[in-house]
Each structure stands twice: as structure tokens, then as C-alpha cells.
Amino acid sequence: MKKSPSSTKRVDPRKNYLATRKAIGYVDRKDAKESDYQRIGFMSGLEVHQQLKTKEKLFCRCPAGVFHSNNNYHAEVIRHMRPTLSELGEYDGTALMEFKTKKEITYRLNNATTCTYEIDDTPPFPINREALEYALEISLLSKLNIVGEVHITRKQYLDGSIPTGFQRTAILGVEGEIQISNKRIGLIQLSIEEDSCREISDIGHKRIYKTDRLGMPLIETVTHPECLTPDELREAAEYIRFLNRSTGKVRTGMGAAREDVNVSCKGGTRIEIKGVSHNRWIPELSHIEAFRQWALLNIRKVLLSRLSNPNSWSTTYKEIDPKELGIENETLLAMHEQGYVVVAALLPHFGGLISHFTQPGKCFISELTDRLKVIACIEKPNITSPEDIDAPLLGNDTAILESLLKADENDAIVVFWGPKEDIPTAKDTITERCQMAFEGVPRETRRPLPNGTTLFERVLPGADRMYPDTDSAPIPLANDYIQRLSKNIPTDVAERYKQMKEWNIPADTHSYLLKKNLLPVIESLVNLGLTGQFAGIFLGHRLKFVEGQVPAHPDFSHSRIVDMFKFLAANKLDKSLAKLMLPVVYRHPNMDFESVLTSIGFKRRSKDELLAPVNYLVEKFKEITICNKPTPVTTQNWVMGQLHKQALGNISLSELRNSINKNVENN
């Protein structure tokens, strides 16, 4: 059955998306200039998480850094989380939202990495002193004011990522700073904390975690929001990563370092993009987020121009039977068919705003669909609209809904669906998010996607979720202990940059050298009499190349490279041999160096032995050359080519060349 469309004039969602994108002045990051960031008041800071390289976890004696696959577990435990009060007697906003979602959390436990502490069936053991010490060293390096007494605090997490419902965490220092290329970035604080579970799945009302990573020691360095461009932000992130790594006491590899990126634009609010695992993602993510806020502020402006008193705004919901109404949209029909409740909503004054640009490829409807998924636990797709930019409701269906809801062209229509028991929360969620549009940018944490866009994750928690840990006693940090620690901290990263410049180490190696904490190795090599430049290039080019070509051996450590150069010096072998030895040493770090030499086919030769065949070779070249007449230079080059491999390590190549040249000239 077809009803004649009474259709009011509706915007074309795709065109509207592009028009609003242009209206707010969105530019792609590759085209963005500093003035674009000034225009929108880009401001950002970081929370850098870094795992510490300890043997055991922070509050129990389970091993740290042992991981299991999702199905490798011995038992499961189920928990539900409910909000509790903070120390100051407030319920936290996130906490209440998480409670609304009523999730059943299942933990998969593997006996190798889990004890009764992880599942909150035993109180914490005293804090891991090794971890505390590493974290204090990094605090000192970060020029923080070190506290006099460490107080373990509970930070509530009701998403279930920690079975207790809170993370044990403590501040070690406040107000430090780091020096990036053109400015200083202030640090708010550094805390030590236990890492959370790894999520296996999150579908509907059931979420599954594994507990292998849970409880591993982690530090969090928090900067002030003083980075004014995405590039500055990335630089700060790199700096902190290098600083952490310079101690040699932190973990590396997948997931060992994660950033939370805080972004706001002028008039926006602090949004936390959580768990960015690659620094190279930071610029794009922060760029898009700042513009998302800029877009939301534009939506607010439009709304306020249409309705001066937002308090009078309200929605109308109607549960519908799409088939009975004659709706043709296949998704709606299918959802209703499978027993879901389908709800049509009238959003007054939101006409043209549902398809308003928010992020590349996304419009305002994304704000709604994300929240339906997270808060009402309705899997996507869970909403559509005539203004959906991907799969909009078409003219006929729109007309039916318009007449049902008595919508005019200033109003928007959305249709969502879900299990009956989730519909009340879904309605609240839609109403709440639309009301927030009048305010501007809701405070939330967002999940990063590789393409630079983000998804709604949670309402941003505040200081209200902190509670003293009544299970642990405060830990005093006496002056002499702190002084002793500060004597042993590594060189400042800013200082390291200067050093590399002084040594004339090419700039393309700097990041690699810092990331791998190779400056101490360079220092050792310089102490052996090598130049800093040679050492820098050897590590920054040759080692990096070898790493990419040769499978790593777990026993390999950089001290082996120092040993290799010591061996060469002790045996009066030329350093040029190191280049050939490195791949072997890297693959077989336990092989003795003599055997390494054998395996690369090196034979010890005196200079005379090496030069003995020169005359023969000169004659040979005359025979085989295709040139009409060999010149001394071509002869020298050819002979050099024949001998240089054997000479490597025995005499320096320049010495070989000089000798050959002399020989040829005398010939």
C-alpha cells in the first residue's frame, strides 16, 4: 500500500553534510595551518600511560607481562558493579551512567596470572617496591614535586575493567615540566596505578574481560592542556615516551604505552580520547576531535536561534509497527519482525541538524547511535532517520512518519529500535543527548578509531570518583631515600637532543635512538674511542636496518654491541667489520665473537698478504676489461673491489685504497 507523500521540504542529507562541513570551516589536517588551530582555539594535553618492567604485579605477587589468548582460561567469575559515594559524598556521573547500563561482567581467569587479589577476593598486599622505585625515578626525571607520603586512592571504574570496581592509584609527584623543541609543557602530576583487564567482547548487556594484564604496574603522566597544535601534542607525547624509556625500566611493545588525549576547542569542553596506542595517530585524532566540538557548537548556535528557551524543549516518542504503517524500509521491517520495539521520535527544531557534519564521514546521528549502543546496550545499527547520511529513510517512509508525528520542516525525525526492556533507557538517552546539544559539547571520553574519528565511550568522570583505599596504609618517602634516587636518574631527554647535535648524528636517527634508549650505548661506544657520529649512525641506520631484516633473539641486548666493539679493539681488528658482524650477533647473541667472524667468512690477513695479489690483479684486469684502455683509476677501482671484502676488519679501507693506488701507480 502506498500513501501519497504529503512531504514537507526536507534537506538532502549528503548535501547538507557537505554544506555544514564547509560552513564551520573544516579543513583536512594535511591542509590545516597554525591559523586554523588558532581560529578554533585548539587546546590539548596528554595522559601518558606506561607499563613498568617489573617481575610482579603492583599489589599481588602474580607475574607481570605474561599474556594469554582469549580462550586460554581456567575459570570464570561474574560481577555486577554499582556506584558508591566518593570521599566527598558525591555520586560520580559516569558511575551512574554505568549503573544504568546494567552490565553483567564475566572475567576469564588463568591461574598462571591470576590469584584471589585480581578478582577482589583478597585485600591488596603491600605495594611492589620495585615498581614504586621505578615510578619515582621517572617522577624525578619529570621534575615533579615529590610527595612526602604516598596515599593509595581508589578511582572508580564501573565499566568492569577492574573487578573491584576501582583502580588503586597514587600520586607520586605534582607540577613538573618537559622541554619540547620550542616551549615547555607543564606536567600536572604523575601517578602509579594498576593496569586494567583486557576486553574480550562487549555485546548487549554482557561484557567479557580477561585478567592477565590486570594489576600490572603502570604510571600515568598528565600534562597541562598547553599543546596548541596537533604537532606539538605529538611532540610532547614522543618526549614523554622517550623520557620513560630512558630509564630502561619500562615495558615496550604492543599496549605497553597508551595515551589518553585531552582535546578542546574554544567554547568546547575537555574530551578525553582514551587508549591511543600509537603516537602517530595523535595528530589526526586531536584535529578531528577539535573540529567535532567546533561543529557541535555550531549546532548549538542554530538550535538557540530557533528556540530561545531550551528548557521548553521536549520530544515525542511513538512506538510503531512499520508494516502496519506501510513503511517500506527493510531494516525497520526486519527489526520489528525479530521482536524489537521500534520507536519513532520527533525532535523539534532539529531539522537539518541530524545530518550536520561532526566528523569526516559522520554527522550528528552518530552522537545518538553511539550512546544507544553504550548506554542502552543496543547493538548497531540501532537508529535511522530521513537525514541519515549513509542509509536515509526515503520519501514515502518519511512522509508517513511526518504525518504520524505531525512534523514540520524545522523538526527532525529519528527512528530507533531495540529489545523491549532497553527502550526506556534508549528514550532517556535520546532526550538527554538532544538536550545536551543546546549546551554544546557534552563531557565524555571517546574511543579512537584508526581513521582518526572517535566513538562515544563514557561520560567523562570527575574528581568525584576518588575514594581513599581503606585497605592500605600510607607510604612515607623520606628525604634521604629521594636524594639517593635522584643521584641515579638518567640524563634528561632535552640534554640528549643537544648531545646528538654536538656529535653530528643525523637527525633522521634521533627518534629511533631515543625510542630504543640507545644514547647510553652511544656513550659507551664513545668511551671505547669511537666517534659519537659513527656510533649514532651505526645504531641509527645499521642496527635499525638489521632489526627490520633479522628475527630478534630474546637474549639480545644492546650491551652485546658494546662487547662487539670491545672485542674488535682488543683483537686489533678494524671497526668496519662490525657492520658485517651485526646481523649474526643480533640473531645469535650467545655466539662467541670468534665464531661470528668465522660465520661471516672473515680471515685474518696481514697488510702484505692482502696486497700480495695486486700485481696479478692488475694484469688480470688488463685481460678481462672491456674498456679499450684501462686507466689507472679504473684499475684501482677494480682491484679495490676485489680486495675490499678480505680487507674488512684487517686494515681500514682507506688504508687499503692508498696502498692499492700506490701499487698501481708504481706498476
Q: Give the long-range contacts of residues 281-286, CB within 8 A, separation 24 or more.
A: 281/448, 281/450, 281/452, 282/230, 282/233, 282/234, 282/237, 283/29, 283/230, 283/231, 283/233, 283/234, 284/29, 284/230, 284/452, 285/261, 285/448, 285/452, 285/454, 286/42, 286/44, 286/230, 286/233, 286/261
Q: What 8-state DSSP symbol labels residue 63? A: B
Would you tell me how many other CB atoms lie within 10 Å of the CB of residue 499?
Answer: 18
The pairing of strands 198-203 and 153-156 is unpaired
Smaller CB separation from other proteins, 121 or 319: 121
Q: What 8-state DSSP symbol labels residue 234? A: H
- Bridge partners of residue 217, in order along the sequence: 194
The pairing of strands 217-223 and 257-264 is unpaired
Smaller CB separation from other proteins, 80 or 645: 80
Query: In the range 441-480, which residues lie near other proteins by CB under 8 A?
Result: 462-468, 470, 473-474, 476-479
Smaller CB separation from other proteins, 50 or 139: 139
Smallest gap from Cβ 122 to other proteins, in A, equals 4
Smallest gap from Cβ 565 to other proteins, in A, equals 41
Is 150 among the residues that bind other proteins (CB under 8 A)? yes
Query: Which of residues 153, 286, 366, 398 is near other proteins by CB under 8 A?
Result: 153
Q: What 8-state DSSP symbol labels residue 422? A: G
Count the residues of the shown chain that bind other proteins, applying the rule CB under 8 A: 67
Query: Which of residues 101, 191, 366, 369 is near other proteins by CB under 8 A?
Result: 191
Smallest gap from Cβ 434 to other proteins, in A, equals 27
Smallest gap from Cβ 74 to other proteins, in A, equals 6
Smaller CB separation from other proteins, 120 or 328: 120
Is residue 364 within 8 A of residue 443, CB to CB? The reply is no
Is 494 among the residues that bind other proteins (CB under 8 A)? no
Smallest gap from Cβ 184 to other proteins, in A, equals 15
Query: In the range 574-593, which residues lie near other proteins by CB under 8 A?
Result: none
Query: Which of residues 6, 69, 70, 145 is near other proteins by CB under 8 A?
Result: 145
Q: Which range, of 160-168, 380-388, 495-503, 511-519, touches other proteins by CB under 8 A?
A: 160-168
Please name the residue that has the C-alpha cell 525497520. Answer: 332
Preceding amide of 381 cis, omega within 30: yes
Q: Which range, of 155-163, 287-295, 365-373, 583-591, touches other proteins by CB under 8 A?
A: 155-163
Is 534 among the residues that bind other proteins (CB under 8 A)? no
Smaller CB separation from other proteins, 107 or 364: 107
Smaller CB separation from other proteins, 189 or 279: 189
Q: What 8-state DSSP symbol labels residue 78? A: E
Q: Hey, CA dihedral for 523, 524, 529, 533, is it positive or negative?
A: negative
Q: Which range, of 36-44, 188-196, 640-648, 650-658, touches other proteins by CB under 8 A?
A: 188-196
Is 483 among the residues that bind other proteins (CB under 8 A)? no
Q: Which range, of 138-146, 440-448, 523-531, 541-549, touches other proteins by CB under 8 A?
A: 138-146
Smallest gap from Cβ 170 to other proteins, in A, equals 7
Is residue 156 within 8 A of residue 92, CB to CB? The reply is yes
The values of phi and psi at residue 271, to 5°, are -110, 135
Query: In the range 259-318, which residues lie near other proteins by CB under 8 A?
Result: none
Smaller CB separation from other proteins, 99 or 512: 99
Smallest gap from Cβ 107 to other proteins, in A, equals 9
Is 146 among the residues that bind other proteins (CB under 8 A)? yes
65 Rama class: left (phi>0) / alpha (psi -120 to 50) / beta: left
Smaller CB separation from other proteins, 173 or 540: 173
Helices (H), 592-631: 593-599, 607-611, 614-624
Smallest gap from Cβ 106 to other proteins, in A, equals 9
Query: In the range 201-230, which residues lie near other proteins by CB under 8 A?
Result: 222
Is 633 among the residues that bind other proteins (CB under 8 A)? no
Q: In what order do the strands lie in the sheet with 206-210?
A: 75-79, 104-109, 206-210, 198-203
Rounded to whole angstroms, how far apart are CA atoms 94 and 202? 18
Smallest gap from Cβ 200 to other proteins, in A, equals 15
Q: Hey, CA dihedral for 234, 237, 243, 248, is it positive or negative?
A: negative
Q: Give the residue from 284, 247, 271, 241 showing the smallest Cα distance to 259.
A: 241
Query: In the range 64-123, which residues lie near other proteins by CB under 8 A?
Result: 73-89, 91, 95, 111, 116, 119-123
Rounded to whole angstroms, how far apart are CA atoms 585 and 621? 36
- Which run of H or of E encompasses 477? none
Which positions lie near other proteins, rule CB under 8 A? 73-89, 91, 95, 111, 116, 119-123, 144-151, 153-156, 158, 163-166, 169-171, 174-175, 188-189, 191, 222, 462-468, 470, 473-474, 476-479, 482
